[in-house]
Amino acid sequence: MVTETATPSEIIAMVPLDGTVSSLHTAALSVEVAGLVEAVLVETGDRVTAGMALFELDDELERLSVSSLEAEWREAVAARQEAARRLDEARSVGAGRNIPETEVQARASTVRQAEARVARLSANLDSGRARLDRHRLVAPFDGVVTERHAERGEWVAPGEALVRLVDREALRLDYPVPQRYYPLFGDDAMLDYRVDGASTGWESAEIATVVPVTDPTSRTFLLRGKAAKDKTLLPGMAVEGRLRLPTGREGLTVARDAVQRYPDGRTTVWVLDDGDGQTVVERQVEMAQGFDDRVVVTAGLEPGAQVIVRGNEALEAGMAVRIGDHDAEAGPN
């Protein structure tokens, strides 16, 4: 027989959860300018990296406009250089002696006007180049293309989703938790998870975020877990959760294997007789919800009792037993 001593221990609230695997980066991407789709560079299921082009719009007119602005800018730069040369020439011969002072001032004004025109055309040129760049839709982050909604030759406009991109690496486990458990959250809270329906065991997850806002409809708050890199997890998957919350209360607990349940509803445990320590006595107990492999006994058992946790399947009252690490022979007293 194998026994254990019934001792008070901290009661842990075990909260079963149902959640979803969510990606931190999910985006429905749209172009910034209206235009005709000239090239589709991705298909559904493609993996892309940040900065990679996904769509290209027809940019012929914009390129011609930028070329015109570049020519105007070069012309303005040349005019500014010429105005500056004429001003330097006027100053070199001496204002008021060989050239009127008003002429020098007029040439200085021409220089300032030329500089202003260069600045204006530089801004226009930068704006044109920016518009030209916006004829390409690029990926803002690494991810997988999950949807594509446009084809070559279609007219598209800003705000119209062309492609949906999901980051498969930055995943979180989102669980709605009943609001009554919020006061129990602390540094000792623990979260385990497993894919819904999976035959594998539970895995530990880091509690990344507890959102301190309750949904007024479901009366739940969001618990977000961060799992270690797990290739079995995909965005949108259903995941089971098991939340461990210390309650700050103590109770008498025994191993689940020590509990005997009967068809008539009785629940008992076998303990060593306090008198001789060699025979067994059956005690009817009342229990509350347990945690892990423990159950909480609320009545029928005293602290310090030696509870049989293994080899209790065929015991009878008054039977003498021998205690050891493994099941041993038992016989009538």
Sequence ranges of the domains in the chain? 2-9+251-332, 59-134
- 216-221 LR contacts (CB < 8 Å, sep 24+): 218/176, 219/178, 219/179, 220/176, 220/177, 220/178, 220/179, 221/176, 221/177, 221/179, 221/182
> Mind listing the pLDDT tens digit for each residue in 18-40?
999 999 999 999 999 999 999 99
Q: If you average pLDDT over residues 285-290, what whole number do you get? A: 76
Question: Between the ranges 171-175, 215-219, 225-229, where is the mean pLDDT highest?
Answer: 171-175
> CA torsion sign, 313 to 317 to 319 to 322?
positive
Instruction: State residue 277's pLDDT score.
Output: 66
What percent of the chain is modeled with pLDDT above 90? 50
Q: With a cut of 50, say whether residue 71 has pLDDT above it.
A: yes
Q: With a cut of 80, say whether residue 197 has pLDDT above it.
A: no
Nearest-angstrom CA–CA distance, 307 and 245: 26
Instruction: State residue 95's pLDDT score.
Output: 62
Q: With a cut of 80, say whether residue 323 has pLDDT above it.
A: no
> Mind listing the pLDDT tens digit for each residue in 204-220?
999 999 998 888 888 99
Specify burial of residue 129 (Cβ count, 10 A radius: 0-12, 13-18, 19+): middle
> Mind listing the pLDDT tens digit for each residue in 96-106?
667 888 888 89
Fold (CATH) for 2-9+251-332: 2.40.420
